[in-house]
Amino acid sequence: MKKNFPLLLVLFSLLLFGLIYGTVQANPYHTPRTIKEEHLELGYTSPDSAIKEFENHFDQTVKLPKYTFHSFYSSNRTIL
């Protein structure tokens, strides 16, 4: 029994390794969803529809700035 113990241990380890890390068959026709589909599932709405929803809910108009600080200084305009 003592001589067979290392051999049995190796065989048991290989069997266990084969069961845990077996081959995985992937579906070749599976195409991942687009980022837009993922965001829509999480509840993303476009800024335009979010503004309309806010205006309808609170009965107020939303005034957004034309330029943000970043867009104003990152453009290729010369400032006098």
Instruction: Please state the domain extents for the chain.
Output: 32-74
Q: What is the pLDDT of residue 53?
A: 94
pTM for this structure? 0.40
22-79 pLDDT tens trace: 666 777 788 888 888 888 888 888 888 999 999 999 999 998 877 666 655 555 555 5
Phi-psi map region of 43: left, alpha, beta (phi>0 left; psi -120 to 50 alpha) = left
Q: What is the pLDDT of residue 57?
A: 95
Q: What is the pLDDT of residue 28?
A: 76
CA dist 30 and 33 (Å) reads 9
Q: What is the pLDDT of residue 55?
A: 95
